[in-house]
Chain A
Amino acid sequence: MRTAAEVLFFVSPALALFLLFVVWPIVKAAQFSLYRWRGFGPLSDFVGLQNYSTVLHDEVFRGAFSHNLFIVVGSIVLQLPLGLAVALLLNRRIRGQGLLRTIVFVPYVLAEVIAAVVWLQLLQPEYGAVDSLLSGVGVPVPDQGWLGSPDRALWTVLIVLTWKYLGLAVLLFLAGLQGVPQDVVEAAEIDGASWWQVQRWITVPLLGPTVRIWVFLSMIGSLQCFDMVWVLTGGGPANSTTTMATFLVNEGTKRHNYGIAAAASVILFVVALFFALAYQLLVLRRDTKGAAR
């Protein structure tokens, strides 16, 4: 019983904080989702699951869901090879390595608001630095600007997100690389393996667990993507960059459909949970050797 008392002693402050500020608001959100509620006054207009059906049939929400998937896949496809390449590069003994590391982490440390403010300036159509540089080297720039063309805006957001979060991937991969036993690498080098071969057959495979953890974090982060999109495009133009999180904030703060916003937030949570559990089952469990297809 002493154990129980000790466990309680250690866990209760964190658990209390967590239950009060994370779990309780979530429970409240679930409650709101069953009502039609304008944001003030009593919760009285009970509508059951109607808000859920409204959200799931909403074209904009469906679009937002597919944009989230695009960001999930796009982030992994772009950041994984880039992040690995940079991490391996930083793991070599080259001059200025410390400085280089420092530089790679910079975007990750910046506030999203700040990064977005700077990128907005850079991406101004015609007058922005990006367009003047690209025009300078003869690359055609879109008339509506990168963030103003419905068919380009989501790609542009993805590029900015990649710029911002590559540092996180590198950070984790470097941490993983520290765990690669040096003697194995040395033995391989003595046997005449080239640097490439060492990376291909020893280092990268040993990074497996790190990569899998990173994919998990990146996936969850992409599903919850909000700040950057909100500041850069607000979900526009023509709803081409909405995400589930921008949809729900828009429904709540701008349209006062708090019941619908709450339903969307519960759906977002369920989607993230589903992804997390599926990933846990299919990938993180080493014994089930990955999904076949």
Chain B
Amino acid sequence: MTDTLPDVTPPAPARPAPRRTTSVRGGGGSPLVYLGALVVVALTLGPVVYGVLGGFRSNAQLADSPAGLPDPWLLDNYRRVLTSPTFWRYALNSTVVAGLTTLLVVVFGLMAAYPLARYRFPGREALYSVFLVGLLFPATVAIIPLFILVSRDLQLGNTWWGVALPQAAFGLPMTVVILRPFLVAIPDELEEAALMDGASRIGFFFRVVVPLSAPATITVGVLAFVASWNAYLLPLLLLQGDMKTLPLGVADYSTQYSSDTAGVLAFTTLAMVPALVFFLAVQRRIVSGLQGAVKG
């Protein structure tokens, strides 16, 4: 199944009869390109828009014409969610848990990636492989032992840290994989210069590496934040009552008010906004931050 991969030649997308009218540099926008773009947008956003607009409709409207537009537009569903204290409480929990997870992943991940990238020591590759193996293991698989560890052995059930710590641990492999090539790429001259100035390797790390790796750090930070914001199974087992995070709230809401599809869609929409805004605001940086990692 992997046999065609090494020299993969993807079929040209929706290829028209080859026209030799050379496009402008970088291939500007022929109508066909815009049409393609439009199709991509429609298919990508369709379900999301359905959810957002559904929040502006009444249940009767949803039942009568599932694929229709709001008519009239109703603000009630959103108002109800935004004025409910539980929504804000869940949002706070989600934010704190995601914040803690991100902090742990970024700080520990950067520290671990540094020697793996710039030191020569026996067992370096073995250590790297240990983290790599973590990529192969979803939290789902070890969920029962993990639950017992957190709630019984560590007494961290129903706390922010109890969710953030394991999430950070499972986020580390990806972080190390992304950061390592980036740190390798820092020119040796910089390090030599720093050492000439009398800085230690540790000093070099804090004074040069940390500021220089900001783009990559932002990338892993955002990825960790989004993963935590969206996590479901682990919080489900570990959090109760007013410690719940938003995805649990979505699941609760969709059964508690199960006849209220419009309300569920409004709640769902509001729950996804923060992660979206956060990710999309820095998406350019993420693309450049990943550059080192995908060089192979």
Contacts and interface: CB of A to CB of B under 8 A. Distances in A.
A227 B112 contact: no
Nearest to A216: B135
A117 B271 CA distance: 12
Contacts of B37: 89, 94, 96, 100
Contacts of A212: 5-6, 296
A101 B264 contact: no
Contact of A22 (B65, B170, B229, B251): B170
A94 B124 CA distance: 45
Contact of B232 (A113, A122, A195, A283): A113
A139 interface: no
B20 A194 contact: yes
Interface in A20-40: 20-26, 28-29, 32, 39
A155 interface: no
Given A18-B131, A72-B1, A94 B34 contact: yes
Contact-residue size bin, chain A (C-beta under 8 Å from the other chain):
35 or more
B28 A32 contact: no
Given A104-B40, A127-B63, A132-B66, A73 B295 contact: no
Contacts, number: 330
**Which DSSP category, helix, strand, loop or mixed, fits chain A's interface?**
helix
Interface of A: 3-4, 6-7, 9-11, 13-15, 17-18, 20-26, 28-29, 32, 39, 72-73, 76, 80-81, 84-86, 88-89, 92-96, 100-107, 109-115, 117-119, 121-122, 124, 127-129, 131-133, 136, 163, 166-167, 171-172, 174-176, 178-179, 186, 189, 192, 194-196, 199-200, 204-205, 208-215, 220, 224, 226-227, 245, 248-249, 252, 258, 261-262, 265, 268-269, 272-273, 276, 278-279, 282-284, 289-293
Closest 5 CB pairs of A and B: A209-B296, A85-B13, A290-B6, A111-B230, A21-B169
Interface of B: 1-3, 5-15, 18, 20, 22-23, 25-29, 33-34, 36-37, 40-41, 43-45, 47-48, 50-51, 54, 63, 65-67, 104, 107-109, 111-112, 114-116, 119, 121, 127, 130-131, 133-138, 140-146, 148-149, 165-166, 168-170, 172-173, 176, 201-202, 205, 226, 229-233, 247, 250-251, 254, 261, 264-265, 268, 271-272, 275-276, 279-280, 283, 286-291, 293-296
